[in-house]
Each structure stands twice: as structure tokens, then as C-alpha cells.
Structure 1
């Protein structure tokens, strides 16, 4: 009897143990596959599904048929490395110092934050990239299983979920570096059928360039179709989220490299796989009008994959569990930034909220058309400049080669090419105030590191940019306050300008000098102070900035001061900034003549390739 009782107890215990074991055994989460198909350098304006003047793209349109079309998707930066660094980090470039194109030096992510594919790998994903990276960040070994032109999802383990990026270079800017001889071959697209935007010359060359690019868009669409076909061939189409998007805007003159709508408003279509419709609070086959930006893309992928979002990123998901379609529809803001593009410097920030776009030019004297060697390989760029110099452009077409306004406001629904600045119109005062405050709050809260010159950040901050920013928040706010003097009326700003020109702080003097250059001849009362700074400032770049102001207002030839500073510096990054001012003086209204002797420049300075690129242009016969 005792034996039977013991046996019963043992059997009951075994059943309880088995049941408990089954309950505590981790449940395997079935995760969707995710593919990004990325075309280079094309804004949404070149696709008919987004813009009436665009080309048809049947393969991309097929993704939209059972997916979502995002009408307000934005790159936060308008050029490759800055945009791709934003994507891979899910964070704003000016906070991380990843927004300069291209890197003079790579920077680390903040402590505890990784490139987002690393989190996918940890969750069991096979991660591959084919093939462009172009990051301004250090990349750890745990990001990609493979990143090359051979990378494919087909190398994964059986049943393993995957994240795959496929880059298409067919629409890249370099494809428009055709010659006059190439033009004789013609285009498939009728040159007389294309739209030439109103700020461009209405010439045969611009018609041809648009038609030629339409051909490239259609070729790119064919390549998109090839990726889709492979997924279907492998039986993966119904279990894979497919994102198609452009890596930033472009690519005709005045788009790539500039944070106007042509530079940052990108196409985005997301195919919703039937197997994972439950992860999406939207109806497939519809349009989403809410604003999404590149900072959000990585967060969205992680959320779709069921991976917890890391602390320390700036983006938030627009698809996946817990994301409400109604909430996404209410999103109506995007923030964008532009600084150095190759050898050309500027500092521009913009906030778009709904239909209004507020653009802040911190150095408005740096006109948009300032020489960038790579941009001007395009025949259309060359012709645009030639027509301007010949006086054959109208007012709107000429804006590209003339000083900008410190503040710009556009109704981009009524004025998509941003030709009619509303910032000074009385009826828009409150809109300007609201968006100005929005932008300043963003720059302070990050904080935005660009109030320091890049060469200085490279020396003191690039080992840990985020930590540097947090430690110097008050200084950054103070420099931003000086930089913002150029949006005031001169009479309201001049006391503070005078105070900061005489400051012991080098960067307050730097921004006070930029402010003088912004006001131009209105600031002539500071000519004597500027002459003293140009002669004796302890910081070389401030001597150059003082000479820049004096040169712009025609009160002193800047050649000797700028040339000597260039010879004296032992910092290639500082020299690139100096050379930007030299090119501005050379090509600006006064056409100052420089004769720079390369053998007088420090050998260390000449190790920076961008210095050589500028010298090539300046010394060109």
C-alpha cells in the first residue's frame, strides 16, 4: 500500500514538474524579415507616384499597392555620409558630430549606444549590407554579418530572420557627369516632356539633364524589381517588410547638399507582408501623411523586430507593436542640418512644421553657389553659373549665387521650390517666432556642436562628442545667442556685437565677426575693431573672419591677411575653413586676386586632401 502511494506521489510530482518546465520554457518569437532598398541622391520629386512631374516606377508602385506610401518622409541631412550616419545611429548628426561630409576623422557613438543592426544581431537576425556604408562613425565588428557587394540574405541559417540593405547607385549624382559628346546619344524620355523647376534656367541643357535623370530613375526602378523578384523566388515576399527610399534628396543643381525640399524630402514606400499585418496599425494600399525622418528608421526596424529600443537614440518608431496610426498621422515636424559638404562650408538649420518651413542661415554671406569642385562637374551647374555671370538669369534663378537672408520662411505646399521668402512679411511674424523658438530649443537641447568650428571640435571633442556637448551646454547656448544677433535689426544688435568683438572668449569673437559679415555695410562702424582683430587676434581663424568682413564691405583687401594665416596654420582642418573664406573673396562681388604659393603652406596642412582640392581650384588658370 505504501509502495502504491509513493508511486502515485512520484507520478503527480513528475506531472507538476513537466507542466512547470513547459510553462517556463522560453517561447520562441517569430520575427519578420526586413529589407531596405535604397536609391542614391533622388528626392521624391522624380517619382510620379509622389509628384506629377516625376517618372513612372512600376516596381516601386507595386510595393505601394499592398503597402504604405509616406508622403512626408525626410532625410535629416542632404548628403550621403551625413544622412547615412543619421540612419545607422538613429540620432541627430549635430549632437554626435557626424554631420560633416565627409569625415576628416571618425567619431564614436556615445557610451552604451550601438549602430542599430547590432541589436538585431543580438536578437538572432542575420544582418547584411550590399554595399555602401559611408559612415562618419567608428563601426564595431558586431554590426554586419557581411557588408560587401556579395552580401545576401541567402547565406543565413535555415529559418533565421534577416535584415538586408541593398543600395542602388544608378541615380547617384556622378551619373549626371555626362559630356557634350554624350548628349548626342539622346534620351529615352522626351526632353520636351519634362518639367524644369522655376529657379533653374529654362535651357535645352536643363531639359536634357532632367530627361536623362528620368531615364536613370526608370533604370533604378528595374533594379528594385530585381530585388523584389528574388524575394518572391525564395518564398519570402509575404514574410518580409520591404522599405524603398532615397538616401537623401537630389540631384539636379541646388538640391543635394542643400536642405531645401529638393535636398531632404525623400520617397518612402513600405511593403506590408501579409503574415505580419498585425504589426501595422494602417490599411495597406493607403498613404500616410504624418512626418517621419531618418532618425526614426532604425527605431522602426527594431520595433518591427520586437527588439527593445536602446536609450540614447533620438528616433521613434512609426511602425510595429504599440505604434498608433492616428498618432503617426499627427506628427508634423522635421529637423534638418547642413554644414561642410566636401570642401565647402556653411551652417544652415531648418525646421518644417506642416506646410511651413523655417530655414536659418547662420552665415548668409556664404551664397549657395559657392564653388564645390564635385558639384561643378555637372554641366548644368557650369551653365547656371555662366548664365548668372552673363546677367542672363531672372531674379529667382539668380538667388543661388547671391547672399541669403538670415531667416527664411516658405509655404512649401504653395511654393515647393522655396522661391518666395515670407519671413519679413507682417502676416507671418507669429509663424516665424514659433518656428525660430522651435529650432533654437532643438539646438540647445541636443546640444548642437556646430557653434564651434569643426577644426576645434576635431582637436578637443571628437574622442567623445556627446560628452563634450553635455559638458559645454552653457557655452554652446552663449555662442548661439551671439550667432543669433544677425536676425535682429542692426540698431538692436550693435551693442552686443561690440561687446562680443571685445570678448576674451575666442568663439564669441568668431560669431560676432560672422554677424558683422551678415549685416555687411550696416556694420561699417566696426571696421576699425575688425582691422585690429585681423592684425593681432590670437586665433588665426578670427584674423581670417575679420578680413572676410572687411573684404565683403570693401574696406580692406583681405588677400594678405588670409594668405598669411593660411601659411601660418599647421592644421589642415582649419585651413579648409580659411580656404572657404578665400574662395568667397575670390568669387564674390569684389573678385579679389589671390596668388597662393603651395610650397609656403605647412606640410602637415597639405596632408588634408580638401586643402589640395581648394588649391586646385584657386590656382587654376
Structure 2
């Protein structure tokens, strides 16, 4: 059956109940293409950074479009970033930000992945071909989502939205061997490659930088090939083309971390001549207006003339109703991290203008805590080995040491976030401003990660957004407890003790994390936590209590943590327990664990992420 026309597609919206509609049908709509390269922050392309390589095809797009100097992923790893993109919603509101998912979350409250709204409006939607969502995908999202998906299969005259994924720069491409390091030459000269100041200035790090830059050059060639196909089809004059990286880069301490190298992505948008009036910016210009992944879906809908649903968190940054002045006034982005594969560490951040504020909710966790996939990279291994050998300076060694609960950086002066200004009285006003903004944002979602992941999987997975609204008061209370970390211990000591005796298990949970953050050797706290470590109904609370007793009082946690692990029949809870075990073993305390995999509950032992932890235990 021939495609009728876009007007019919738009009018059909009024015949069905949907949260997406348009004010009036319009026949003439632009095509929109996303070209997405994996694992690229802006730091390695000369278009954005003086230390980057040339990318002539992306630069050519920029000559006919706009360079976004301030574009950000909201999450620093693939599935969490892509889940934000496809739903145009913040991950902690939806519990869609854990990587990798243990279970997909469901969209409710009339929410849909944004391409579904385009299809209802008559667009042909294709994805080639990576999805990696942590959300259950409905059947109405893509016309085709395969490695052969193409706009060329649409009906004549039908507008399209197409996503093309490029994996050439993926982290796995720097998982080279020692033999490859010694024998394979790079096109980029390693001796001319900039190595960021928090990294060891070694031949291996130079080589890894060079190899990664080679991949970026090859990726740029692939971008050119995709653009040429559009040109061959006569589509450049009516197609918006977005090129961007799906989150930060692959060098150690970037992907998986809420630093600029993990979040700040390149973004170029080609503006087609036919639809230049939809953008209040001149071709060939740059903008410093802040945009982030949560905004991308809303922007596509706005360019397509489709009303942006009110239950999306994102705000359009291009299209009708968006002026240059409004775009330039945008100066904030929010980001989040929780679990990456088998490694847990709850971190939130806001960047406003030149300043970045990072909130570490478990500051006793150090950044370099073992993650098997990360440590396949030789550079990670060397970084850790040099730390253990005492051969790093303070800036380089920080990756393997406990963090502060708060960090504040001036990104323009300190682009690699090595100088924490949080304790500097000259920046107290800025610290309090950003702390307050982050707290407002967390409460407004609300942020579901104030419950442990295993609790959410049991109680919220079928409708996480509604669960959050129903438990908004409780979440606000947990955030209040967590923020006791930011006060003087003496002023909050009695409050912490009262929460340790609470009937709410998650008030006890957060009070225990606060205790571990302070690490105060207080007799009353020690007595309370000893009781929790032995008798709390929640296994994870016993573990958190043992964690505090080890950090503050050097009490051996091995028996309590091991027994809790063997008793656990919930895979996510067992994985969280293992995170504490790895911290106790690999951190400064260096406790010895002799874990028996055959003592695990069967479902726990069968979990692939649990197996990753034991693979590491068995190697070391």
C-alpha cells in the first residue's frame, strides 16, 4: 500500500488516544539523521580541543551547521546514556540508569520511547542498529532496527528519522595485548599525543592515546560515507544531521565516571537549506548553550513539528519556539552514576557555567575499584600497578584513594578536574549554590537510587516513575540523612544515632553510609552498628555496618560479609555485598577473603555479574 501523505498520518493522531499530538497537520517535514559514535568525549577532536585530531568530514558538517561547545551525556556509560536518549527522561527517575540491566524497566503514565511519536505522525523510523536500552521496547518504536536498516526502504515522499551507530571508537578497540603494544605502529605519533595530567606520563599511555585517536580518524571516514549516501539520494537540503558521541571517551577514568572526559561529548548539527528557518542560528557558527541527552528526543520532535509530551524531562534546543537567546542562556547539565557492570558507586553531578559540582554519596569508594571490563585495558592495569608501587604523584594517585563527599571544579581553569575547591572558603557561595540546585533536582524527580537497586527490582520495576511519586516523602528523607555527611560530625551525631535505631531499613542504611563517610571512632556508634551487623533483618545493612566497623575501628568484616553473601538469594543484593567485599580487600585495609563460589545460592551463582567478581577473586 502506498504511503498516503503526512497529513493523513498527522490527522490519524486525533483518532486514537495518545499523549502526543500536533496543533495542526503540516505536510512538509524535515528528515532527521543521528550519526552516533561510541565512547567519544570532545577532548580528542581538534574541532573542540587543541589536543585533538582533525576530523575533516565532521568539520565539513560543521561548516553547514552548528557546533555545540557544551553538549553532555547525562550518564557516562552506554545503556544508561541510551536509555536517557530514547525516553528523553532522567535515568534516576525511571531506574533506567544501571549498567548493565538486571531487568528492563517498564514505561507507564502514557510514556513512550520518542520515535513512537514520530511514527504516529507519519515518519519512517529506522535504527542501525544498536539499542542497548534498559527499558522494555514497545513494537511501535522502529519500522526497522537491524544492521541493514535504512531510510531507503520508506514510502516515496515519507519523512524519516534514522539512527546510524558507529562502533569503531568503542572501548574494546583499546583492549590490545602487550605484543600489539610492542609491534603495532599507530598512525598518530605517540610522542606527540597529549596525556592528561592525572594519568602516568608513560609510553603505554602515549600509545593508548595515539591508538584511540587513530580510531577517531577512522570513525570520521565512516561519518563521511553516511553523509555521502544522503547526498547521493539528494537528501542533504532537507535533512538535519546530528553527529555526536554516545558518552565520554575510553581512556582510564573517563567512561564510567562523572568527569568531563566521561560526559562532555562532541555535537555538530548540519542545518539543511530548506529548513534553515527552523533554527535561529547561522550556519558555520558555534554556541556555548548547554544541551544534554535528555533534550535530544524533545528536540527531534520539535524539529518534526510534533508536540513534546509533558511527561518528558527534556527541553528542545532547536526548532520552532527556540530562539538563539534562549539557547545561549542555557547553562546547566545534570549527570548520574550508580552501577557499571559489577561495580557500584552512587555519584551525582551538576555543571553550571564553568563550575562543576560532584556529590559522592559513598566517598569511601575509590574510583579505581575493580571493574573487570575496564581493567582489560593495559593502561588501567599499569596505572594500578604504578600506584601499588608508589610511583605516582598525588594527582595521579587520587584515582585509587577515598574521595571527598563533595568536589567543586573550575572547568575552564582545571579541565581534568584535579584541584578540588570544595574546602576553599573563596568558593563557599558557589558550592552552596550548586549543592542546593542538585538537591532540588534530585527531589524533583525524585531520585530512585536512594533505595538500593535490589529493592527497586522487587518493588518498582513495573512502574518506577509512579513508585517514585508515591514515595517522594521517603526519598526526601533519605536524601536528608545522606546530606548529614556534609555537616560537622558533632552537630549531627545524635541525629545519626537516632536513624540507626529507625524502624525504616533504608533510614538505617543511609545512616550507616554516613557513619562510614565520617569514619569516627565513637563508642555509641560502634555499639549501635555492632548490633546492626549481627541482627539487622536486611543483609545489606549488616554488611554496611561491618563496613563502618572496619573503616573506623579496624574490626575484621570478613565473617559478617561472607556469611551475608552466602545467605543472599537476591542477585542484585549479593552484587552490592560483593562491592563492599572488594573495597575491604583491595582498599587500604587489605582484608583477606576466602570466598567459596559453591556456597552461593544457585540463582546468585548463575548471575553473570557475580561470576565476573569471582573471576577476579580467582585470578588475584
Q: Which category of TM-score, normalised to the shorter sequence, fits these structures?
A: over 0.9
Residues 27 and 301 from structure 1, CA distance in 2 versus in 1: closer, same or farther, beyond 3 angstroms? closer
Q: Select which of 112, 115, 122 maps to 1:114.
A: 112
Shift of 1:27: 6.3
Shift of 1:528: 2.0
Find the aligned partners of 2:230 and 2:361 in 1 and give their Cα distance. Answer: 47
Residues 547 and 329 from structure 1, CA distance in 2 versus in 1: closer, same or farther, beyond 3 angstroms? same
Q: Select which of 147, 150, 154 maps to 2:148.
A: 150
Give runs of ≥4 in structure 1 deviating > 6 Å.
none
Superposed, 1:522-537 pairs within 5 Å as 525-537=524-536
Shift of 1:619: 2.7
Find the aligned partners of 1:27 and 1:568 in 2 and give their Cα distance. Answer: 60
Q: Secondary structure at the match of 2:344?
A: coil
Residues 493 and 351 from structure 1, CA distance in 2 versus in 1: closer, same or farther, beyond 3 angstroms? same
- String of CA shifts for 1:264-309, please: whole Å, max 9, x gaps: 0000000000010011111110001100010100000000000111
Shift of 1:523: 5.0
Aligned residue in 1 for 2:604: 605
- String of CA shifts for 1:567-615, please: whole Å, max 9, x gaps: 1111111000000000000101111111111111111222321111111
Aligned residue in 2 for 1:216: 215
Aligned residue in 2 for 1:94: 92
- Contact conserved, 2:115 with 2:141, CA < 8 A, in 1? yes
- Contact conserved, 1:408 with 1:422, CA < 8 A, in 2? yes
Shift of 1:110: 2.7
Superposed, 1:21-420 pairs within 5 Å as 28-183=26-181, 184-420=183-419
Shift of 1:411: 0.3
Aligned residue in 2 for 1:11: none
Shift of 1:422: 0.4
Find the aligned partners of 1:121 and 1:371 in 2 and give their Cα distance. Answer: 43
Find the aligned partners of 1:471 and 1:435 in 2 and give their Cα distance. Answer: 27
- Contact conserved, 1:280 with 1:319, CA < 8 A, in 2? yes
Stretches of structure 2 that go unaligned for 5 or more consecutive residues are 1-23
Find the aligned partners of 1:185 and 1:410 in 2 and give their Cα distance. Answer: 38
Find the aligned partners of 1:29 and 1:435 in 2 and give their Cα distance. Answer: 45
- String of CA shifts for 1:354-411, please: whole Å, max 9, x gaps: 0011100000011000000000000000000000000000000000000000000000
- The Cα RMSD (Å) is 1.0
Residues 27 and 367 from structure 1, CA distance in 2 versus in 1: closer, same or farther, beyond 3 angstroms? closer
Q: TM-score, normalised by structure 2?
A: 0.95
Shift of 1:119: 0.6
2:482 equivalent to 1:474: no
Q: Secondary structure at the match of 2:343?
A: coil
Q: Secondary structure at the match of 1:430?
A: helix
- Contact conserved, 1:573 with 1:608, CA < 8 A, in 2? no
Q: Secondary structure at the match of 1:346?
A: strand
- Contact conserved, 1:595 with 1:619, CA < 8 A, in 2? no
Find the aligned partners of 1:598 and 1:379 in 2 and give their Cα distance. Answer: 28
- Contact conserved, 1:527 with 1:555, CA < 8 A, in 2? no
- String of CA shifts for 1:515-541, please: whole Å, max 9, x gaps: 111112455652222111111111110
- Contact conserved, 2:191 with 2:206, CA < 8 A, in 1? yes
Stretches of structure 1 that go unaligned for 5 or more consecutive residues are 1-25
Residues 276 and 433 from structure 1, CA distance in 2 versus in 1: closer, same or farther, beyond 3 angstroms? same
Aligned residue in 2 for 1:488: 487
Deviates more, 1:530-539 or 1:282-291: 530-539
Find the aligned partners of 1:409 and 1:480 in 2 and give their Cα distance. Answer: 20
Find the aligned partners of 1:236 and 1:254 in 2 and give their Cα distance. Answer: 40
Q: Secondary structure at the match of 2:609?
A: helix
Find the aligned partners of 2:69 and 2:257 in 1 and give their Cα distance. Answer: 20
Q: Secondary structure at the match of 2:122?
A: coil
Residues 159 and 190 from structure 1, CA distance in 2 versus in 1: closer, same or farther, beyond 3 angstroms? same
